[in-house]
Amino acid sequence: MNQFKGTYTALVTPFTMDGSAVDQRRLAEQVRFQAEAGVTGVVACGTTGESPTLSDSEQKAVIEQVVEESRSHGIHAVAGTGSNDTRHAVAAHAHAASVGAIASLQVTPYYNKPSAEGLYRHFMTIADSVDLPIILYHVPGRCGVRMEMSLLTRLFTHPNIIAIKEASGSIDMVSSLVDQTDAVVLSGDDTLMLAMGSVGATGVISVVSNIAPDRVQRIWDCVEAGDLHGAREAHRWLFPLADSLMTLDVNPVTVKTAMSILSMDSGTLRSPLVGMAEQARQALVGILKGRGLLESGTVAEAINS
């Protein structure tokens, strides 16, 4: 369990310009960029990776490539295999285990809004199916269903359910998880990662680290070292960028647009997602310039070197 700490980057899925296929060359470059920045690991096929628009064969291929690339660079690979269909989640979870993922990320079933008992049976069925660690993903704003502590304490009795990506925006929830369970808590909100770390979270599954992985990892190095001043400085640098990625448009539209501006990705999205409005895009350009990322070209140079 102690291995789940620091920065896990929720990778975008790079597509070819017409969106018809996954750009495998770009995907390999992005994993390498993350590894060279010193992150703990990456997450393939999360919602930042546009998993709802990937076919089953594409999802499997992306996970297999990310596992292989991550292994070659000495970092962890987590597979996003969640679904609102329990049978589908079980099958994807088994595939992740078979190809060597270190864990699977299991999002709360969305749209069908199961009861607490339905959620319990869903996650326990997946956990019983294959001996692979599970990171729960609690994001009620996206999924329309909230997990209460009474449910979470039941789930964390299973030896395969060991961590949670907490994205409800509640620092109190993190405090309660740390107090009432043995779970590893990972921040699911980039702008709150320092606050969550201050009350017991040990890492983050991050969107902004697609662009600035070294800065995100700096926060967690400081948290582990007890360096509050250093963590605050890193947070102050990151905050405008992290905030813009979540507020100028829906994730992953903004991060993919930023990566396109920085020559890190084609920026291609799959329908029903569409590109940013021009006014929002120009605001994003201003943020990137303000952080010194666009003018220096260091990000693009690093990922394409």
Annotated active-site positions, please?
Answer: 137, 165
Q: Please spell the DSSP secondary structure of 82-102, one letter per residue.
A: --SSHHHHHHHHHHHHHHT-S
Instruction: Please tell me whether residue 169 adopts helix, strand or coil conformation.
Output: coil
Provide the sign of the torsion angle of the four alpha carbons 243, 248, 252, 256, taken in this order. negative
Provide the sign of the torsion angle of the four alpha carbons 223, 33, 165, 187, taken in this order. positive
Distance CA 31, CA 275 (A): 24
Provide the sign of the torsion angle of the four alpha carbons 142, 143, 145, 149, taken in this order. negative
Evaluate whether 1 touches 163 at the Cβ level (below 8 Å).
yes
What are residue 5's phi and psi, to 5 degrees? Answer: -150, 165
Distance CA 73, CA 69 (A): 6
User: Which residue from 259, 274, 270 is spatially nearest to 20, judged by alpha carbons?
Assistant: 270
Distance CA 43, CA 194 (A): 20
Say which residue the tokens 């297999």 belong to.
64
- Pair of tokens at residue 144: 């329309």
Residue 19 burial (C-beta neighbours within 10 Å; 0-12, 13-18, 19+)? middle
What are residue 15's phi and psi, to 5 degrees? Answer: -110, 160
What are residue 139's phi and psi, to 5 degrees? Answer: -140, 75
- Enter the DSSP assignment of 52: G
Q: How far apart are the first and last CA of the chain?
A: 34
